Amino acid sequence: MAAEGAQAPGAAEEGAEGSAAADPNGRKLQLRRPIARTIRRTDDGLPMMSYAVPQSLYGTTIMMPILVRTDTWQEWFRWKGMCYVWMVVNYAMQVIFVVGVRLITIGMYLDVRTKPDDCNELNPAMMAIGLTACVVALMTDIQETFDIHVLLSRYIPTVESSTVLKWKEEDGELKLESGGYSWHAKVMLYLFVLLPKLVLALVMMGWSLIFLRMSESDADIIKDATALVFIIETDEAIFSFFSLPEVRVVMDAVPEFEFQHKVHGPWTRPAIQFAKFLLVVGIVLFAGTRLHTCGTTGNETFTEWFLFSSF
């Protein structure tokens, strides 16, 4: 599916040897799940990663300017401008929500300090699960930011002037031949896409943990954690519901980028995953022991600093 006059992703001018939408034999490229990395295998059987474009609102905003060539403002708005519109909508919703969570949390904090009798005894396991759900959702968002950073800094070439990516067939695979972003364009993407995404996730991490710790009952923990995770994933819902079908087709068709880093031994990746698990456990333990909770005294120092002094 393509717009009239718009250049499909990876389609070069006449004489190009391949495109992102289909290989020279007419076979449809395999679709990928919305994740930045997929697994392949080396000759000795060890896992080898290749980078794929994240199927998300952020991935679309980052990649569409160098996937489709547009010659008119109508084409530009259809393929690129609408991506920017949905990104602004996403940021507006998340900023409003983050500020709202902060104001509500301040109100809850002041309320439970003056009316401790309104608090019920909370189930520690329920609180731990709620905190873990929020931390994992936000850490996943941060990981996607890191994945896009690696893709942008290491795999998309820096060229003199931003041009559409073009692929060619080599040994039965499509490999990047030319195109990329200028350094100025990359700086703008970092400032207006990746940096706000990272800052929102980090700020949301602190306020979400305090917000959950202020829950007055187990039922509130379930409701609050569900609402937080839902809002954190708003960008995925916006991408799935509002983005044009042809834009999603283009994103699905982008070939993977060959992984450029050697893996040191078969236990490197399992060790990284366990390290991430320990990081989540550490954050949950910190929130459970150092943040003020409804119906108790003590542990107010960090909570009050974050609520009343930060941002």
**Each residue's pLDDT tens digit, 199-234:** 999 998 988 888 888 888 888 889 889 888 888 888
pLDDT at position 27 is 40
- Structure confidence at residue 190 (pLDDT): 96
Ranked by mean pLDDT, the top range of 181-195, 240-254, 263-277 is 181-195
Return the bridge partners of 41, or none: 47
Question: Phi and psi for 3 in degrees, rounded to 5?
Answer: -80, 150
Contact assessment for residue 201 and residue 138, using Cβ atoms and an 8 Å cutoff: yes
Asked if 133 and 280 count as a contact pair (C-beta separation under 8 A), the reply is no
Separation CA 244–CA 210 (nearest Å) = 38
d(CA 25, CA 13): 18
Q: What is the pLDDT of residue 28?
A: 42
pLDDT at 207: 86
Of 77-81, 194-198, 224-228, the range with the lowest mean pLDDT is: 224-228
Which one, of 185, 204, 36, 234, lies nearest residue 134 by Cα? 204
Whole-angstrom Cα distance, residue 188 to residue 10?
Answer: 23
0.85 exceeded by pTM? no
d(CA 135, CA 155): 29
pLDDT-above-70 percentage for the chain = 72
- Give the pLDDT confidence score for residue 15 in this predicted structure: 37
User: Cα–Cα distance between 207 and 232 in angstroms, integer?
Assistant: 13
Instruction: Work out the mean pLDDT of the chain and round it to a whole number.
Output: 79
Structure confidence at residue 135 as a pLDDT band (50, 70, 90)? very high
Find out whether 180 and 165 touch, Cβ atoms under 8 Å: yes
pLDDT at 198: 95
pLDDT of the residue at 184: 95
138 or 306: which leads in pLDDT: 138
Tell which wins on pLDDT, 200 or 289.
Answer: 200
| Contact in structure between 232 and 138 (CB atoms under 8 Å) | yes
**Residue 257 pLDDT > 90:** no
For 4-36, the pLDDT digits (tens) are 445 554 443 433 344 444 343 444 444 444 444
Burial of 94 (0-12, 13-18, 19+ CB in 10 A): buried
pLDDT on residue 108: 78
Average pLDDT over residues 285-291: 85
Calpha distance 171→168 (Å, rounded)? 10
Residue 67 or 217, more confident: 67
d(CA 181, CA 163): 7
Q: For 66-81, what is the mean pLDDT?
A: 93
| Residue 302: pLDDT over 70 | no
